[in-house]
Amino acid sequence: MRYFDTDFGPMGVSDDTLGKGGRGKVLPVMLAPPEMPQAKKKLVLKQVEGRWRTEGRQRKVACLERMGRGAAQGKTLPAGCAVAWPVTSAYEEGRWIGFAMRAMEGRPLDAVKADGAIAPAVKVRQARRACELVSALHAHGVVLGDVSLSNFMYDEAHDRLALVDIDSAQVADEATGCIYPTTESREKSPEMLAGRMGEVVLTSRSDDFLVAVEVFRLLFDAHPLDEYAADVSPAEMRARNATACRFGFANERRCCGPDAFGRELGNLFRRTFEGPYELIPNAADYAACLSGLERQAFETCPVCGQVRVAVAEERSALEVAPSGLSVRRVVGGLGFAAGASVMAFACCACMPELAGFAQEAAGFAQGATAALDGAWHEARLAADAACGQVQGFTEGAWRLACDAAEFAQGAASAAQDAWESASPQVEVALSKAAELADALVEGVFDLASNAWGWLEDALDAVAGASDGGGADAC
């Protein structure tokens, strides 16, 4: 155990490092001076790395200490939320080396995001609390800058969300008017991309943007600004989309889009990621919307695996497919064509009707062929869509493609059937027509030969009559 000086007396610290951050390490406090605030709580020392022990950082930590005490007295933090405020500065041989703070138990939200066993409603609640924390800190003049899931610790046992690493935030000191800058952030807001870190004073809008990114990541397990372009790194794509107000996730073709957690949250995401940046919703807007979602029922989409608000009516794979309805219509049309040809067979007693049906059946067969072309086209579209989804994540998309191909195959055989059932009828109709024509010709021939006989008889009679007359005259 080593001893460091504090404003309240010497503090004993263990040498077992609990964790290492970018700018220091965290060690457990074994013996806290009794006068120190929160001395009875579990505390840790954040020992800042040598080159980061600047005077600015020391003043920023002192300012955060005052804020933390004020927040504790005024109880200004949202329910179920905590902040690992610095409780005292620590010194070694009179030189500032870091500060003590509350030890926050639990797991960071990135681990919670990846844990499928944690109910969606619990994730929604932590998302809401993260937004409330960001909003409450804005009221204290603190802009987090580096808003990241790894800086929020979820303590399942106490159902509490805590913000850690607050000393990396941008802090405005009301007493002096000083603004202490934030440290580098991995995720970048449009205003961070426009300027250079440390040279720009961030607005609270930067946090509003980044907390929306983190809420999206927690709920969708995907980055809102990602797009699958082969030639660009994810970081570059995100920077590009943040600047261009392009909601990459929404532009990808998928069955469960940004409205998976309801239209209201979907609209907030659209406003944040499609801009304009000056008018994006703030963390409090997100908190209000998320608190309304906590009592919802959730389910997992059977096609793409996205968690979503439970859909009241079970939707078939066909309706989910982008072009499913028109495939169904094609198949329905073919069924009707097949029915009509069966009817034609049943009603072939008289020839004109038969010929009519045969013509109709031929028409249907033609229609079916055209529909078949359409079905192939739909199948191609569905297969394209399926490929897009597979790139992202799904096996379900392949199922859709298989369904579409199966439908196309069904359409093909139905068209074949319709054509086959139509052609014998056309033949029958033609032979009956020929028979009728033959019969008619035969009848006319008989009539003509009869007429010829009658004419001959009449001529004979006339000749007989004139012979008789001559005799009389003689």
Residues 229-268 that bind Zn ion (CB under 5 A): 255-256
DSSP state letter for 170 = E
Phi, psi of 35 (to 5 degrees): -75, -15
Q: Does 321 sit near Zn ion (CB under 5 A)?
A: no
CB-wise, 182 or 323, nearer to Zn ion? 323
Q: Does 144 sit near Zn ion (CB under 5 A)?
A: no
Work out how close the CB of 185 gets to Zn ion at its nearest, in angstroms, rounded to a whole number: 32
CB-wise, 320 or 433, nearer to Zn ion? 320
Beta strands in 273-312 (DSSP E): 298-300, 307-309
Q: Enumerate the H helices of 159-255 as residue ranges.
A: 190-194, 204-220, 234-244, 248-251
DSSP state letter for 167 = G
CB-wise, 256 or 321, nearer to Zn ion? 256
- With a CB cutoff of 8 Å and minimum separation 6, the contacts of 455 are none
Work out how close the CB of 81 gets to Zn ion at its nearest, in angstroms, rounded to a whole number: 32
Task: Judge whether 43 and 2 are in contact, CB under 8 Å.
Answer: no
CB-wise, 120 or 374, nearer to Zn ion? 120
Q: Does 219 sit near Zn ion (CB under 5 A)?
A: no
Instruction: Select the span of 16-24, 195-203, 303-311, 371-379 touching Zn ion (CB under 5 A).
Output: 303-311
Gap between the Cα atoms of 429 and 366, Å rounded = 19
Total binding residues toward Zn ion, as defined by CB under 5 A: 6
Instruction: Tell how strand 43-48 and strand 81-83 pair up.
Output: unpaired
CA trace torsion 49, 161, 133, 37 (10° rounding):
-60
Gap between the Cα atoms of 168 and 185, Å rounded = 9
What DSSP letter does each residue of 328-374 carry, written as one string? HHHHHHHHHHHHHHHHHHHT-SSHHHHHHHHHHHHHHHHHHHHHHHH
Work out how close the CB of 303 gets to Zn ion at its nearest, in angstroms, rounded to a whole number: 4
Q: Does 386 sit near Zn ion (CB under 5 A)?
A: no
CB-wise, 301 or 414, nearer to Zn ion? 301
Q: Does 301 sit near Zn ion (CB under 5 A)?
A: yes
Q: Does 397 sit near Zn ion (CB under 5 A)?
A: no
44 SS3 class = strand
CA 200 to mean position of chain CA atoms: 34
Q: Does 164 sit near Zn ion (CB under 5 A)?
A: no
Instruction: Tell how strand 170-172 and strand 142-143 pair up.
Output: antiparallel
Task: Judge whether 167 and 86 are in contact, CB under 8 Å.
Answer: yes
Work out how close the CB of 385 gets to Zn ion at its nearest, in angstroms, rounded to a whole number: 12
Work out how close the CB of 389 gets to Zn ion at its nearest, in angstroms, rounded to a whole number: 9
CB-wise, 240 or 253, nearer to Zn ion? 253
CB-wise, 304 or 386, nearer to Zn ion? 304
124 SS3 class = helix
Q: Which of 303, 309, 355, 371 binds Zn ion (CB under 5 A)?
A: 303
DSSP state letter for 310 = P
Instruction: Select the span of 208-216, 305-313, 321-329, 365-373 touching Zn ion (CB under 5 A).
Output: 305-313
Work out how close the CB of 391 gets to Zn ion at its nearest, in angstroms, rounded to a whole number: 15
Work out how close the CB of 320 gets to Zn ion at its nearest, in angstroms, rounded to a whole number: 7
Instruction: Tell how strand 179-180 and strand 95-102 pair up.
Output: unpaired
CB-wise, 367 or 392, nearer to Zn ion? 392
Q: Does 304 sit near Zn ion (CB under 5 A)?
A: yes
Work out how close the CB of 392 gets to Zn ion at its nearest, in angstroms, rounded to a whole number: 11
By the criterion CB under 5 A, which residues form the site for Zn ion?
Answer: 255-256, 301, 303-304, 306
